[in-house]
Chains A and B, each alone.
Chain A
Amino acid sequence: MIRLVPRTDTPALLQIATPILAVLATMIAGGILFAIMGHDPVAAIRTIFWDPLFGPAASYSRPQLLVKAAPLILIASGLAVGFRAGIWNIGAEGQYIIGAITGAAVALAAYPAEGMWIFPAMVIAGAVGGWAWGMIPALLGNWFGASEILVSLMLVYVAQRIAAWMAFGPMKNPEGFGMPGSRNLQQYPAAANPELVAGTGAHWGVVAAALAVLATWFLMSRHIRGFHIRAAGIAPRAARFAGVKPETLVAFCLGLSGALAGMAGLFEVAGPAGQITDKVGVGYGFTAIIVAFLGRLHPVGILLAGLLLALTYIGGELAQLTMNLPAATVQVFQGMLLFFLLGFDLLTRYRIARRITA
């Protein structure tokens, strides 16, 4: 009989190897799935993982990887900090939506003014909006012991309602013939978040995602707060004895991840999305949870994981176009990734031993 024995220490190699194993396992399981569906598995895997990078239209899809990965990386960087402390913000999607709304509100209030101050003010407003939405579960948790998992998740649905209200009410484009949706910020130069250098795909959100990776790396490995966070995650009681206040950590982690998610929302609404609609949330806040775990809650890992997830989105589209694979394939793929990652994760914390039963 096979038995799982807890490891006392995890080999560093295994830490790095498990995400790679998970990706390989996803490719194999996905390939089997494609074969059952009657598609050439090798061609499908190549279309999803190779063509966006080196295929015939790669000059377009490579920059799009950055566009798609940026919000995921930005949000996941913040989430991972909290996850390391055992603080589970599941509601980044809601913080993203609120950040998009508060950021866009600045632009719509300023319209049609011109000025260098407008875009920075939008970024700040987006961050503050996301931060405030993240503080609701933090404060309810600190004051009343409410679960931050449930409260942050439930607030996603509240945020979606607010977005619908905004799109059909206060933020509706007065020149939109009664149709829902705000003005398109792409068409308002002072508020737009365009490609900074043509052909790179990089907008301010991509820059912010890169900075977030650096900043959270510094925080977690060089700053005392990062040490507290890690300590609280590994040994909460010991951390408390060492003077780490759990309430402060909860507020810090939910506030930080909320602010980053809110900024991501703003960069998207001023850039690729363009406008506030009732569908302003497209699931980045949830996908970022996969990104955070796939990246082993490490800033560099998150960077790579965000790009990988972006690859599955864009490759999935190509597979639909060229091979008629159904869109659900991408979702199955992403689900498999998380499934295999969590599965292989077991190996980092336990080793397999054989036991002879009596």
Chain B
Amino acid sequence: MNRRQLIASVAALTTISLAAPTWAQDEPLKVGFIYVGPISDGGWTYQHDQGRLAVEAEFGDRVETTYLESVPEGVDAERALTQLALAGNDVIYATSFGYMDAVINVAAKFPDVKFEHNTGYKRADNVGTYDGRFYEGRAVTGTIAGRMTKTNKIGYIATFPIPEVIQGINSAYIHAKKVNPDVEMKVVWAYTWFDPAKEADAANALMAEGVDVILQHTNSTAPLAQLQQQGKIGFGQAADMASFAPSPRVSSVYNNWGAHYVKSVGRILDGTWKPEAVWGGIGDGIVAIGEITEAVPAEVKAEAEALRDKIGAGEYHPFTGPLNKADGSAWLAEGQTATDEELSGMNFFVEGITAEIPQ
């Protein structure tokens, strides 16, 4: 750090401490959200909006929330974020990966506004990030899948070959294999987050290959509808999808962003907010396991819930060695756990998965 930077940062610190150690109570904190889909999508955006409502329920008159929905990533993102900042929002939550560079650009122009970007990796003095450890949930549903399959073939409807999805596939496979050594994992890359027609096709393609339990990373209920017709089972994704319970939806991994939003807004209100990289899992309440239905035998349910609780309590990491990579090379030694850096750049399958990661 040279002298100019030092002076600048000291000056910045002074301003911050003078400005607002705690939030002035007379005016509500304005909280803005930018959504990639409509709030009625029943999946990704719906769950974020539930989080917004949780903030309203928690803080009442102390906050005022607004949102912009269906803002495509790309050319419109920067303008929409600027509009939210100009509308006087004190904090803006950007809820899709593709907003990342736009958030950084707009945050530089509005240094007094706080930004949090969902699923991204770029941060700044007024930009934090937050994400869910969805692989923790997949460990639980993978366990159920391994126990429930009769054909020993489980399927995974993958979205795009990005680290988050690869973590999910690996975690589901590792834990299915743990309870069922004969299990085999089939992967279909749907190249979409939400496309009911394509997702239904993917589910049917998997079932045609003998798969009888499907985990999905895509966000529509179409795969569950197909599973229902053929009497096979799957899991809710992003949202609880409880309307398909007790079967084909035997459980779910859903995003409970409210747990994060309430904590984050609370920190802004009491003046302790910092731009952090939050990566929360079951223990933080961000990743939630939907009710395991009576379609699952009681002992399997108990086993899955025990795993959920162990992960939540931090007693067990879903990526614990010994684990090898699919190419046969060693990855984690006995008892060693994966680091967050390794996970956030994950681009390989673990040993035993025969599917390919498209490059």
Which segment, of A23-31, A33-41, A173-181, A225-233, faces chain B?
A173-181
Q: Verify if A64 is at the interface (C-beta below 8 Å from B).
A: yes
Please tell me if the beta carbons of B162 and A179 are within 8 angstroms of each other in the complex: yes
| Interface hits, B30-67 → A, CB 8 Å | 38, 66-67
Please tell me if the beta carbons of B163 and A178 are within 8 angstroms of each other in the complex: yes
A277, B163: Cα distance in complex, Å: 17
Q: How many A-B residue pairs have CB under 8 A?
A: 91
**A180 to chain B: which residues have CB within 8 Å?**
160, 162
Please tell me if the beta carbons of B38 and A327 are within 8 angstroms of each other in the complex: yes
How far apart are B164's CB and chain A's nearest CB, in angstroms?
9
Q: Verify if A218 is at the interface (C-beta below 8 Å from B).
A: no
**B316 to chain A: which residues have CB within 8 Å?**
none
Q: Verify if B84 is at the interface (C-beta below 8 Å from A).
A: yes
Q: Verify if B28 is at the interface (C-beta below 8 Å from A).
A: no
How far apart are A232's CB and chain B's nearest CB, in angstroms?
35
How far apart are A74's CB and chain B's nearest CB, in angstroms?
13
Please tell me if the beta carbons of B83 and A318 are within 8 angstroms of each other in the complex: yes
How far apart are B169's CB and chain A's nearest CB, in angstroms?
14
**B87 to chain A: which residues have CB within 8 Å?**
57, 321-322
Please tell me if the beta carbons of A186 and B105 are within 8 angstroms of each other in the complex: yes
Q: Verify if A188 is at the interface (C-beta below 8 Å from B).
A: no
Q: Verify if B230 is at the interface (C-beta below 8 Å from A).
A: no
Which segment, of A115-123, A245-253, A266-274, faces chain B?
A266-274
Quick one: CB contact mask for A311-337 with B, threshold 8 Å, 1 for yes? Answer: 001100110111010111000000000
Quick one: CB contact mask for A154-176 with B, threshold 8 Å, 1 for yes? Answer: 00000000001000110000000
Please tell me if the beta carbons of A317 and B68 are within 8 angstroms of each other in the complex: yes
Q: Verify if A184 is at the interface (C-beta below 8 Å from B).
A: yes
| Interface hits, A85-111 → B, CB 8 Å | none
Q: Verify if A275 is at the interface (C-beta below 8 Å from B).
A: yes
Given known pairs A60-B86, A273-B74, the reply for A177 and B121 (CB within 8 Å) is yes
Quick one: CB contact mask for A171-200 with B, threshold 8 Å, 1 for yes? Answer: 000000111110010110000000000000
Q: Verify if B78 is at the interface (C-beta below 8 Å from A).
A: yes
Please tell me if the beta carbons of B75 and A282 are within 8 angstroms of each other in the complex: yes
Please tell me if the beta carbons of B97 and A326 are within 8 angstroms of each other in the complex: no
A187, B104: Cα distance in complex, Å: 12
Contact pick for B79, options A64, A164, A280, A324, CB 8 Å: A64
Give the bracket for the number of chain B residues in contact with chain A: 35 or more
**B76 to chain A: which residues have CB within 8 Å?**
272, 282, 313
**A164 to chain B: which residues have CB within 8 Å?**
191
Chain B interface mostly helix, strand, loop or mixed? loop
Please tell me if the beta carbons of B38 and A177 are within 8 angstroms of each other in the complex: no
Chain A residue total in the interface (Cβ 8 A): 40
Q: Verify if A259 is at the interface (C-beta below 8 Å from B).
A: no
Contact pick for A282, options B72, B161, B347, CB 8 Å: B72
Contact pick for B86, options A57, A272, A273, A326, CB 8 Å: A57
How far apart are B22's CB and chain A's nearest CB, in angstroms?
27
Contact pick for B72, options A57, A186, A279, A321, CB 8 Å: A279
**B101 to chain A: which residues have CB within 8 Å?**
184, 186-187, 274-275
| Interface hits, B295-329 → A, CB 8 Å | none
Please tell me if the beta carbons of B68 and A181 are within 8 angstroms of each other in the complex: no
Contact pick for B75, options A169, A272, A317, CB 8 Å: A272
Given known pairs A178-B347, A268-B75, A321-B68, the reply for A279 and B191 (CB within 8 Å) is no
A62, B101: Cα distance in complex, Å: 23
Q: Verify if B111 is at the interface (C-beta below 8 Å from A).
A: no
Given known pairs A277-B98, A322-B87, the reply for A314 and B38 (CB within 8 Å) is no
Q: Verify if A67 is at the interface (C-beta below 8 Å from B).
A: yes
Quick one: CB contact mask for B71-102 with A, threshold 8 Å, 1 for yes? Answer: 11111101110111011000000000110011
How far apart are A272's CB and chain B's nearest CB, in angstroms?
4
Contact pick for A327, options B70, B82, B84, B162, CB 8 Å: B70
**B80 to chain A: which residues have CB within 8 Å?**
317
Quick one: CB contact mask for A54-76 with B, threshold 8 Å, 1 for yes? Answer: 00010011001001100100000
**B163 to chain A: which residues have CB within 8 Å?**
177-179
Q: Which residue of chain B has its CB nearest to the CB of A56?
A: B86
**A60 to chain B: which residues have CB within 8 Å?**
82-83, 86
**A178 to chain B: which residues have CB within 8 Å?**
162-163, 345-347
Please tell me if the beta carbons of A67 and B79 are within 8 angstroms of each other in the complex: yes
How far apart are A318's CB and chain B's nearest CB, in angstroms?
7
A164, B86: Cα distance in complex, Å: 33
Q: Verify if B351 is at the interface (C-beta below 8 Å from A).
A: no
A61, B97: Cα distance in complex, Å: 25
Please tell me if the beta carbons of A321 and B358 are within 8 angstroms of each other in the complex: no
Contact pick for A320, options B68, B160, B345, CB 8 Å: B68
Please tell me if the beta carbons of B83 and A279 are within 8 angstroms of each other in the complex: no
How far apart are A284's CB and chain B's nearest CB, in angstroms?
8
Please tell me if the beta carbons of B97 and A57 are within 8 angstroms of each other in the complex: no
Query: Which of A179, A274, A318, A322 has the most chain B CB atoms closer than 10 A to its own CB?
Result: A179
A277, B71: Cα distance in complex, Å: 15
A313, B80: Cα distance in complex, Å: 10
A318, B68: Cα distance in complex, Å: 9
Extra A-B contacts (12), CB below 8 Å, given A57-B83, A268-B75, A282-B74: A187-B101, A272-B75, A272-B78, A272-B79, A278-B160, A279-B74, A321-B66, A321-B83, A326-B69, A327-B68, A327-B69, A327-B70
Interchain residue pairs with CB less than 8 A apart (16): A57-B87, A61-B83, A71-B75, A179-B163, A180-B160, A187-B101, A272-B75, A274-B102, A277-B73, A279-B74, A314-B83, A317-B80, A324-B66, A327-B38, A327-B71, A328-B70
Q: Which residues in B have some Cβ–Cβ distance to A below 8 Å?
A: 38, 66-76, 78-80, 82-84, 86-87, 97-98, 101-102, 105, 121, 160-163, 191, 344-347, 358-359
Task: State the 5 A-B residue pairs at the shortest beta-carbon distance, nearest first.
Answer: A327-B70, A272-B75, A273-B74, A327-B69, A273-B75
